[in-house]
Structure 1
Amino acid sequence: MPDSTKPPQDVDPLRTHGGFADLVGYTLETWEPDLAEVTLTVDARHLNRSGVMHGGMLTTLVDTACGYCGCHAPKGETPKRAFTLSLTTNFVGAAQHGQRLVARARRTGGGKSVFFADCEVRDQDGRMIGTGQGTFKYITLRK
């Protein structure tokens, strides 16, 4: 039986798509030092039983953007990796089917082993959908 904790051998663990990103449908649009933007167009699969975007989707966008913003590396260098230690999500508005969302996160501090990030999620009209803050720990991938 394959080990589900390791990526398949044909999957590059450093790429920005694959696995959960493909399942959910978000895209990393901007990735710079201390900044990341993740986008998502709300689809029927993202809705809850009330017909608005499920809160887990907002949390996913916040977590993903915050995680990326602290892990950028210059071109040619291996990006850093991190896992979430703590995440707070604030639900401000409801996203509807068809809306394009942008989760913009900035690294706000930290050091060699831990970093902090803040995120805002807005729709295509600039309307706030939610915010979040996270604490992340840098890790080293093992081969």
Structure 2
Amino acid sequence: MTDFSTLPESPFVDSLGVQLISAEDGASEVLLPLSATHMNTWGIAHGGVTMTLADVALAMAARSLADNGIGVVTVEMKVNFMQPGRGELRAFARVLHRSTTMAYCEGEIRDSEGHFVAKALGTFKYMRKLAVGRDIAQQRLRSDPSATPGPSDA
């Protein structure tokens, strides 16, 4: 089991300002003080921000049960929005079931006044870090200067 004191490096999550409160023994808590950049056109937390916070909380709960060097990827996730998010959002998550390769988690998000903002359920796959996506294209470009990014010919 892993005890986290900080979130794993993620430029997207870092840019949002998500803060890890705790992640251990299959449970986690994360916090996001909302700013103008997190809002939708109605002046409330954008649904994508709320979903991202839920995803981070659920993933951290799952990761807290993994050995060092093992991460998780989201296989599927569902979020029900109950009411607008305002002020500060706090997400709480826990693992409901874990197998050797997957974790099924639930969580909820509340605002700074304790109002119930959203409920989330998700499935996460345990994996070692892989070179995927952009990293592979960049490695190919470095190793073959004539290569161009795009679909493979294979």
The normalised TM-score by structure 1 is: 0.81
| Distance in 1 between residues matched to 2:92 and 2:27, nearest whole Å | 7
Report the aligned-residue RMSD. 1.9
Larger Rg: 2
| Distance in 1 between residues matched to 2:30 and 2:7, nearest whole Å | 14
Match of 1:100 among 88, 101, 105: 88
Identity of aligned residues (%): 28
Extract unaligned runs of 5+ from structure 2: 1-5, 132-154
CA contact (8 A) 1:16 1:28 kept: no
Structure with bigger helix share is 2
Tell me: higher relative CO, structure 1 or 2? Use CA pairs within 8 A at least 6 residues apart.
1
Alignment of 1:21 with 2:13, yes or no, is: yes
Report what 2:98 is aligned to. 110
CA contact (8 A) 1:109 1:115 kept: yes
Shift of 1:119: 0.5
Extract unaligned runs of 5+ from structure 1: 1-13
The runs of 4+ residues in structure 1 deviating greater than 4 Å are: none
Alignment of 1:82 with 2:72, yes or no, is: yes
Report what 1:70 is aligned to. 62
The C-alpha deviation readout for 1:97-123, integer Å capped at 9, x for no partner, is: xx1111000000020001100001011
